[in-house]
């Protein structure tokens, strides 16, 4: 064996794998995402020795900073978002690898300065560009990078990758256009479309749970599963994102990306092997099997099985909160939906006849994201005469956040001489079961991008098909001429119409 | 003798209840029910059995290290100190069992009776006859050797590696050292350099031999590469104090920091650069917690140990 071709010292090393030498270039280095998520994630990766042997960060933004100002910002970020009151040796060492270049994103001179920095001696030729900037400038930045020949490596073993944040487009046409624009300069394997839900431990664990255990997959189909409910509930309102949210709404903000990815993990067929392309092919199959959400009845463009709503003033987390239209930056006549509920039908052998109910909203009573798989009841209620209570159907609940884990609900006999039944829950929690901290999603995703593993990133065709499902709904809403949409009081679980949507099938939303 | 055994047992689990061996399971179930009733929480899922075997004076430290682990991770802990008792009493809590002074020949019987069925069993070996180690191996999914002088235990490893995922706790303590060398090996200047000499300064000769064995085995060094072990001047919290790798055109020195628990690496060649990485939490609780979570066979350790047995001890 030629030991110089690979790194045998990595064999069996539990702190693995580590990326090749890397420069991380962050566009939007002075922005909120960098401050809250990226810099703390880099520190945690450094603490865990997950960063490459040679590693540099080049911050890029309009703010007039120099290297020292960026480093001071880094320490402030760790103080606020990583709980590091004072710099330690790790943060100091990492700070010394932080550099900064300021300028306007459309100025070619900025890219010349970046190129000059990257060409300095000792800087690796593996470069990961992170676009933590508004989507409106993605195309411009990538084309400027290409003009400055920054998207092609200088040496044979170099590489260039680009992480693109959500939202990736605002509808099918814009997503296609953005993909075309990126593909003009980059190959698909160079593009990493980030969806932080995919970095969550429980979402990744869904694949392990389903495909590394023999007992679940045989019942994971229409014969045994009655329906699936996916809930992503937030207690917060629109906060400081009114400008973005007004043009996005819950359907674009949550369903098109996060919840479609979650749905794909629940419903996908087993991949032939655990490789990025195989996993992403099977996820795409799920989207291809979803029946259109638009009415197929002539000119009727009413969205089928979709309910939208907006929160009004109410009470959440122990305090009174204003309605959506009273939030700063929101139009008083806004029709932007802060809540969506929908029923999806998958036209596949495995899932025919099994509805997938999705709901997501802001200002709901509690913050939680979960997938609830409800199984069919037993064919015969054997204990009907002796037990006064009805049998609850079995439930398998995957908690995505905040308390990541899996619970199973099943019926058990209550202790006593009578045959009385009661549902019990069996819980597995990531926070306690393994006695170790669960990494933040951005740590996982940053590392994967440095390693060049795109499994947990969205592929261009997934993004486009997801928009292909959602865009007709937006078009139908726009064409409806509605001047009002259903409302729900902040602190409640959505509007009455959402209850009616599921009640029409003889079912009800889970009480969370 | 009886008094000595009881006091040792109480030292292990001061809040426990003394019971005959045959009542261990029923008493634990009762204590668990009472605990849940007091706390009002749901039953915690069980994940594994951890068996600690060793000399009485090393058990209290192990019990303390595992205390939180069993509560937080749903682990049943069985602490067995060795002695001459053939019918020892036991002391139990809801999650832990202490057996003091058990004759080594009955060790595997006790573990077979008390481990949780259908869940992994890890054995933390803190001392005892090599024969008992060999016998308990087939009951263990994971076997962590943690003795001051592992020469006898290391010789047993070759015969049990097919039965259990065996390691030495030193190996866990060396993880950060191995990791930083693996990182540095990614540098082209290091990867392509011909190594001439490896020097280690250590307070633990076995850790030093294991590390040197790992480098030699993984990089397939010929006997021409000199390995030089130096005894540290004073005992240290860390098994190794410094490692120096001399190669053509590049020298690497990695040593422990003086303040925070960090490793400082210096790569000297055409250019000189440094790296600082955290050394991790060297506390026994952290190290053993990580090792006990591993279930799979560690081929790198086995190769390192094979090579370490050939590395001469320091003069």
Verify that B114 and B188 share a domain, yes or no.
no
Q: Is residue B305 in a domain?
A: no
HEC string of A327-393?
CCCCCCCCCCCCEEEEEEEECCCCCCCCEEEEEEECCCCCCEEEEEEEECCCCCCCCCCCCCCCCCC
User: Rounded CA gap, B89 and B18, in Å?
Assistant: 7
Verify that B239 and B191 share a domain, yes or no.
yes
Q: Is residue B272 in a domain?
A: yes
Q: Is residue B50 in a domain?
A: yes
Which residues 6+ apart lie within 8 Å of A79 measured at CB?
A85
How many domains in chain B?
2
Which tens digit of pLDDT belongs to each residue from B291-306? 887 878 899 999 999 9
In this prediction the ipTM stands at: 0.81
Contact A366, A512 (CB under 8 A): yes
Q: Taking CB atoms and an 8 Å limit, are B72 and A432 in contact across chains?
A: yes
Verify that B186 and B74 share a domain, yes or no.
no
User: Rounded CA gap, B93 and B35, in Å?
Assistant: 10
* Closest in A9, A15, A122 to B185, CB measured: A9
Q: Containing domain of residue B234, as a range?
A: 173-278
Residue ending a domain, choose from B140, B160, B184: B140
Whole-number average pLDDT of chain B: 85
User: Rounded CA gap, A258 and A276, in Å?
Assistant: 18
B98 DSSP β-pair partners: B79, B91
pLDDT at B94: 85
Residues 57-116 of A with CB under 8 A from B: 88-90, 92-93
Which residues 6+ apart lie within 8 Å of A494 measured at CB?
A307, A309, A339, A341, A359, A361, A364, A488, A509
For the purposes of burial, counting CB atoms within 10 Å of the CB of A507, is it exposed (0-12), middle (13-18) or buried (19 or more)?
Answer: middle
Contact B88, B106 (CB under 8 A): no
The residue assigned the tokens 């098909």 is: A465
Verify that B32 and B131 share a domain, yes or no.
yes
B294–chain A Cβ distance below 8 A for any pair: yes
A430 DSSP β-pair partners: none
Q: Is the peptide bond before A402 cis (omega within 30 degrees of 0)?
A: yes
B300–chain A Cβ distance below 8 A for any pair: yes
User: Rounded CA gap, B303 and B218, in Å?
Assistant: 8
B299–chain A Cβ distance below 8 A for any pair: yes
pTM tops 0.90? no
pLDDT at B56: 83
Q: Does the pLDDT of residue B288 top 90, yes or no?
A: no
Verify that B118 and B64 share a domain, yes or no.
yes
Verify that B233 and B107 share a domain, yes or no.
no
Q: Is the peptide bond before A17 cis (omega within 30 degrees of 0)?
A: yes
Verify that B36 and B128 share a domain, yes or no.
yes
Verify that B100 and B15 share a domain, yes or no.
yes
Q: Taking CB atoms and an 8 Å limit, are A432 and B271 in contact across chains?
A: no
Confidence label for B7 from pLDDT (cuts 50, 70 and 90): very low
Q: Is the peptide bond before B23 cis (omega within 30 degrees of 0)?
A: no
Contact B186, A52 (CB under 8 A): yes
pLDDT at B264: 83
**CA torsion sign, B209 to B210 to B211 to B217?**
positive
A7–chain B Cβ distance below 8 A for any pair: yes
Q: Taking CB atoms and an 8 Å limit, are A18 and B218 in contact across chains?
A: no
Which tens digit of pLDDT belongs to each residue from B121-172? 999 999 989 889 998 998 999 999 999 999 999 999 999 999 899 999 999 9
HEC string of A89-147?
HHHHHHHCCEEEEECCCCCHHHHHHHHHHHCCCCCCCEEEEEECCCHHHHHHHHHHHHH
In 10 A of CB A195, how many CB atoms? 23
pLDDT at B70: 61
pLDDT at B2: 42
B273: its two tokens: 């650069």
Residue ending a domain, choose from B278, B293, B309: B278
Q: What letters, b where the CB count within 10 A reaches 16 and e where it falls short, cover B8-35?
A: bbebbbeebeebebeebeebbeebeeeb
Verify that B31 and B121 share a domain, yes or no.
yes
Verify that B106 and B18 share a domain, yes or no.
yes
Q: Is residue B55 in a domain?
A: yes
Verify that B97 and B182 share a domain, yes or no.
no
> Pick the catalytic residue: A73, A196, A258, A460?
A258
Which residues 6+ apart lie within 8 Å of A172 measured at CB?
A464, A467, A468, A471
Element (H, E) at B232: none
Q: Is residue B239 in a domain?
A: yes
pLDDT at B45: 61
Chain mean position to CA B291: 6
For B19, half-sphere exposure in the C-beta direction (CA atoms, 13 angstrom radius) is 22
A159: its two tokens: 């590489």
* Closest in A11, A13, A435 to B73, CB measured: A435
User: Rounded CA gap, B69 and B99, in Å?
Assistant: 19
pLDDT at B41: 56
pLDDT at A2: 47
B168 DSSP β-pair partners: B145
Chain mean position to CA B252: 28
pLDDT at B108: 87
Q: Is residue B145 in a domain?
A: no
Q: Does the pLDDT of residue B103 top 80, yes or no?
A: yes
Q: Is residue B312 in a domain?
A: no
Q: Taking CB atoms and an 8 Å limit, are A90 and B278 in contact across chains?
A: yes
Q: Is residue B163 in a domain?
A: no
- Residue B183: its chain A contacts at CB < 8 A? 18, 49, 52-53
Q: What does the CA dihedral B90, B91, B94, B95 come to, rounded to 10 degrees?
A: -70
Verify that B106 and B186 share a domain, yes or no.
no
A258 noted as active-site residue: yes
Residues in chain A, pLDDT under 50: 1-4
Closest approach of A431 to chain B, Cα-based (Å): 9
Nearest chain B residue (CA) to A124: B187
Tell me which residue of A373, A6, A442, A23 sits closest to A226, measured CA to CA.
A373
């Amino acid at each position: 064996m030629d030991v110089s071709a690979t790194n045998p010292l990595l064999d069996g090393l539990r702190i693995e794998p580590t990326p090749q030498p890397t420069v991380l270039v962050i566009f939007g280095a002075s922005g909120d995402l960098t401050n809250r998520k990226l810099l703390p994630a880099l520190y945690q990766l450094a603490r865990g020795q997950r960063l490459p042997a040679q590693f540099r960060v080049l911050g890029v933004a309009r703010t007039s900073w120099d290297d020292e100002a960026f480093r001071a910002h880094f320490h402030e970020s760790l103080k606020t978002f990583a709980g590091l009151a004072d710099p330690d040796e790790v943060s100091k060492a990492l700070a010394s690898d932080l550099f900064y270049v300021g300028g306007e994103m459309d100025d070619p001179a900025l890219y010349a300065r970046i190129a000059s920095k990257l060409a300095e001696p000792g800087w690796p030729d593996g470069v990961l560009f992170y676009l933590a900037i508004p989507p409106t400038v993605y195309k411009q930045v990538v084309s400027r990078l290409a003009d400055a020949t920054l998207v092609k490596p200088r040496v044979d073993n170099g590489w260039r990758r680009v992480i693109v944040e959500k939202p990736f487009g605002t509808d099918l046409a814009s997503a296609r256009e953005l993909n075309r624009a990126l593909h003009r300069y980059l190959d698909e394997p160079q593009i990493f479309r980030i969806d932080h839900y995919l970095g969550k431990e429980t979402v990744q664990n869904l694949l392990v749970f389903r495909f590394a255990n023999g007992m679940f997959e045989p019942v994971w189909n229409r014969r045994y599963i009655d329906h699936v409910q996916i809930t992503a509930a937030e207690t917060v309102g629109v906060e400081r994102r009114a400008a973005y949210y007004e043009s996005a709404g819950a359907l674009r903000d949550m369903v098109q990306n996060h919840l479609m990815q979650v749905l794909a993990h629940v419903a996908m067929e087993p991949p032939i092997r655990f490789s990025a392309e195989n996993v992403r092919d099977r996820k795409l199959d799920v989207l291809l099997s979803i029946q259109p959400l638009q009415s197929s009845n002539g000119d009727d463009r009413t969205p089928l099985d979709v309910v939208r709503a907006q929160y009004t003033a109410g009470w959440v987390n122990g305090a009174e909160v204003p309605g959506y239209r009273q939030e700063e930056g929101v139009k008083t006549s806004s029709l932007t939906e802060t809540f969506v509920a929908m029923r999806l039908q998958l036209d596949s052998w495995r899932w025919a006849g099994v509805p997938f109910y999705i709901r997501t909203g802001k200002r709901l009573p509690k913050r939680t994201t979960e997938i609830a798989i409800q199984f069919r009841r037993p064919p015969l209620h054997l204990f009907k005469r002796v037990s006064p209570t009805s049998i609850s159907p079995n439930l398998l609940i995957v908690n995505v956040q905040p308390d990541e884990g899996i619970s199973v609900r099943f019926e058990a006999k209550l202790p006593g001489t009578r045959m009385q039944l009661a549902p019990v829950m069996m819980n597995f929690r990531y926070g306690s079961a393994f006695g170790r901290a669960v990494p933040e999603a951005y740590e996982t995703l940053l590392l994967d991008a440095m390693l060049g593993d795109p499994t947990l990133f969205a592929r261009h065709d997934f993004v486009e098909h997801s928009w292909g499902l959602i865009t007709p709904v937006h078009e139908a809403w726009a064409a409806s001429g509605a001047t009002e949409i259903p409302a729900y009081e902040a602190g409640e679980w959505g509007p009455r119409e959402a209850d009616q949507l599921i009640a029409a099938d003889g079912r009800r939303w889970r009480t969370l | 003798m009886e008094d000595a055994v009881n006091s040792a047992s109480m030292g292990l689990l001061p809040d426990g209840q003394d019971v005959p061996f045959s009542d261990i399971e029923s008493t634990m179930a009762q204590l668990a029910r009472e605990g849940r009733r007091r706390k009002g929480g749901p039953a915690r899922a069980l994940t594994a059995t951890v068996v600690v075997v060793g000399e009485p004076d090393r058990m209290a430290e192990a019990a303390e290290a595992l205390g939180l682990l069993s509560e937080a991770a749903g682990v049943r802990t069985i602490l067995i100190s060795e002695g001459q008792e053939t019918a020892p009493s036991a002391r139990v809590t809801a999650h832990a069992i202490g057996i003091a002074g058990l004759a080594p020949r009955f060790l595997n019987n006790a573990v077979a009776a008390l481990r949780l069925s259908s869940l992994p069993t890890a054995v933390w070996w803190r001392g005892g006859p090599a024969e008992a180690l060999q016998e308990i191996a087939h009951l263990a999914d994971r076997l962590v050797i943690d003795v001051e002088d592992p020469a006898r235990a290391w010789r047993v490893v070759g015969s049990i590696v097919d039965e259990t995922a065996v390691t030495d706790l030193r190996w866990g303590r060396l993880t950060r050292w191995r990791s930083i060398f693996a990182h540095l090996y990614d540098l082209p200047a290091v990867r392509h350099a011909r190594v001439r000499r490896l020097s280690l300064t250590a307070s633990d000769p076995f850790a030093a031999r294991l590390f040197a064995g790992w480098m030699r085995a993984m990089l397939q060094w010929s006997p021409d590469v000199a390995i030089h072990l130096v005894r540290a001047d004073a005992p240290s919290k860390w098994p190794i104090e410094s490692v120096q790798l001399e190669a053509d055109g590049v020298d690497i020195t990695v040593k422990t920091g003086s303040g925070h628990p960090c490793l400082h690496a210096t790569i000297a060649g055409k250019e000189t650069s440094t790296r600082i990485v955290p050394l991790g939490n060297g506390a026994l609780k952290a190290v053993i917690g990580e090792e006990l979570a591993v279930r799979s066979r560690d081929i790198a350790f086995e190769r390192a140990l094979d090579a370490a047995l050939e590395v001469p001890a320091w003069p």
